[in-house]
Chains A and B, each alone.
Chain A
Amino acid sequence: MNKETKTYRKGEIPGIIAINTRECKGCDACKRFCPTGAITGMFGATHRVDADLCISCGQCLVNCPFGAPYETVDPVEQVAAKLADKRTTVVGIIAPAVRVAIGEPFGMPVGSLVTGKMYSAMKKAGFVILDNNFAADLTIMEEGTEFIQRARHALFGEKAEHGGEIGPLPQFTSCCPAWVRFVETNYPALIPNLSSAKSPQQMAGAVAKTYGAAQVFKAAPESVYTVGIMPCTAKKFEASRPEFQSAWHFMKEKGGAASSAPYPDIDAVLTTRDLARLLKKMKINLAAENDAEGGTLFAEYTGAGTIFGNTGGVMEAALRTAYVVLTGTPLARLEFEAVRGLKGVKSADVTLRDQKYGKDVTVKVAVVHDIRANIRPIVEEVMAGRSPYHFIEVMNCPGGCINGGGQPICDTGSSWIGRVLPSFAWS
């Protein structure tokens, strides 16, 4: 990227997604998937990505019939070098949606759940496992508690325990880095509504280099190398945000190893496709592996953490925990069918009794995916102060992270030309 970009700070990677002008046929397919209109170029002419508008979601990349968009950041070599270096502890932070997609590049059917095989292959490659589902559970604790605090503040005037400010309702989820950047570049007035909780990836990085380094990996934080393995291209951007050096700041304040150079919470991000390339480079066939256990404390996860990869999953997981915390009684039925499925905007009312205040509360929640098609009416409502909702989950990609921009490209999408072309004689 030699063009000057305005919406990035120093240190951030501008323009994760670019279009290969040799491959682009100007067919405009990508424009129909771009949530922000960042792709410019007339029909028939080669297209370009405007990095200032781009939120790095990668939907153009997985949906281009010609495979023209590509990622400008490729950390596979760098991670391979760190894996070969025996002095570093390389922590693989595996997102929920990776386990249902990583089988595809190894010839397994679409949607195969291969958690055990993935653990085994990654351990063989030299990773220590930190399942991001663990961090997803941690996110629920933080984000759910934050929501309860906001709701009690709005309804009963409760004050923050440490005297901090309490944000307004509705609370938006903040797990999706493309959505966070979408708010920052398009609707900055809604920033107070975003949950202050970090995304699971960044929580995992901060925990791995503080508590994890000391208690679990028994290594100096400088020698812990954290690799996010994500279904997402925007996570590469997120990891480069300068404020995400919180582990370094924390260790410096505590006085441990104070003199070291600043290190980021997440050192590198691999997409699901990148991980498949790395494993193939190391000649590991994931499909032939036997099931293995994660083997560390951080590999422990719950069903609530794993559904984070689906649209509606964060909401469902948060409701399960918030219900128990508020009412003090366990849920009779864990599945919230109302927030599942592929409808553009799903909403549900949950009535529960707040045992602390002894009052019935009706929580209205909404789940939005596919920002391009569905987000505008929701945010306009919130901006106008007419929103009926208290808690809104937003994921950029249609279907959630499982269809993210970093996932293996499926022939069943619109990327079908690569498969059809070889059957013609002239190509």
Chain B
Amino acid sequence: MSKNDPSHEFMESPFSLSRREFIAIGGVIIALLALPAVWVRSALINRNHHIQARTKGLYRDDATAKIRLSHENQAVMRLYRDFAGKPLSPVSEELLHTKYINRMKALS
């Protein structure tokens, strides 16, 4: 055996990263780290989705309605003509208005 047998020589594994490779791998790691943040963000954005969707639904109902003013509702007008008289009339006051009570007295 010669003194210079390469199989007995110690050599570090030749691992080297080019500058480009380093940036690419770093980018992938950061992207993976950022995923949960993206999920949380999209969950937060969708939080109010149902409120906005339902709001839109009602405004669409208004926009497509044939009559859009309360005092032009013929059924309401008929109710006043045949029965209640007019807004704030004695009949209206009795059936359509109310009083409130102070509930704080009971608490103190």
| Structural contact, A100 and B104, CB atoms closer than 8 A | no
| Structural contact, B71 and A325, CB atoms closer than 8 A | yes
Asked if B83 is at the interface of the complex by the 8 Å CB criterion, the answer is: yes
Asked if A89 is at the interface of the complex by the 8 Å CB criterion, the answer is: no
Asked if B38 is at the interface of the complex by the 8 Å CB criterion, the answer is: no
The SS class assigned to the A binding surface is: helix
Given contacts A306-B62, A307-B59, contact A197 B101 (CB under 8 A): no
Given contacts A185-B107, A298-B75, A304-B68, contact A111 B102 (CB under 8 A): no
Contacting residue for A142 out of B59, B90, B97, B107, CB 8 A: B97
B103 contact set on A, CB distance < 8 A: 7, 181, 184-185, 188
0 or 1 for each of A304-332: is its CB under 8 Å from B? (1 = yes): 11110110010001001100110000000
**In whole angstroms, how far apart are the Cα atoms of A136 and B50 in the complex?**
23
| Structural contact, A306 and B70, CB atoms closer than 8 A | no
B97 contact set on A, CB distance < 8 A: 142, 196-198
B71 contact set on A, CB distance < 8 A: 140-141, 321, 324-325
| Structural contact, B69 and A138, CB atoms closer than 8 A | no
| Structural contact, A305 and B70, CB atoms closer than 8 A | yes
Please give the number of chain A residues whose Cβ is less than 8 angstroms from any Cβ of chain B in the complex.
86
B52 contact set on A, CB distance < 8 A: 111, 342
0 or 1 for each of B81-108: is its CB under 8 Å from A? (1 = yes): 0111001101011111111111111110
Contacting residue for B98 out of A202, A250, A320, CB 8 A: A202
**In whole angstroms, how far apart are the Cα atoms of A196 and B67 in the complex?**
27
Tell which of A302, A307, A400 has the most Cβ of chain B within 10 Å.
Answer: A302
| Structural contact, B47 and A413, CB atoms closer than 8 A | yes
**In whole angstroms, how far apart are the Cα atoms of A400 and B48 in the complex?**
12
**In whole angstroms, how far apart are the Cα atoms of A23 and B102 in the complex?**
35
Asked if B40 is at the interface of the complex by the 8 Å CB criterion, the answer is: no
| Structural contact, A297 and B78, CB atoms closer than 8 A | yes
| Structural contact, B67 and A303, CB atoms closer than 8 A | yes
Given contacts A141-B87, A297-B75, A300-B74, contact A111 B50 (CB under 8 A): yes
Asked if B8 is at the interface of the complex by the 8 Å CB criterion, the answer is: no
| Structural contact, B46 and A412, CB atoms closer than 8 A | yes
A342 contact set on B, CB distance < 8 A: 48, 51-52, 55
**In whole angstroms, how far apart are the Cα atoms of A97 and B52 in the complex?**
13
| Structural contact, B61 and A247, CB atoms closer than 8 A | no
Known: A142-B97, A303-B67. 20 other contacts (CB 8 A): A100-B57, A111-B50, A111-B53, A141-B70, A145-B87, A184-B102, A188-B104, A188-B105, A191-B100, A196-B99, A297-B75, A301-B65, A302-B67, A303-B64, A303-B69, A321-B69, A402-B55, A403-B51, A412-B50, A416-B43
In the complex, 9 of the A-B residue pairs with CB atoms within 8 angstroms, ordered by the A residue number, are A113-B61, A137-B76, A180-B100, A184-B102, A184-B103, A196-B97, A207-B95, A303-B64, A402-B57
6 residue pairs, one from A and one from B, having the closest CB atoms:
A111-B53, A303-B65, A100-B57, A303-B68, A303-B62, A145-B87
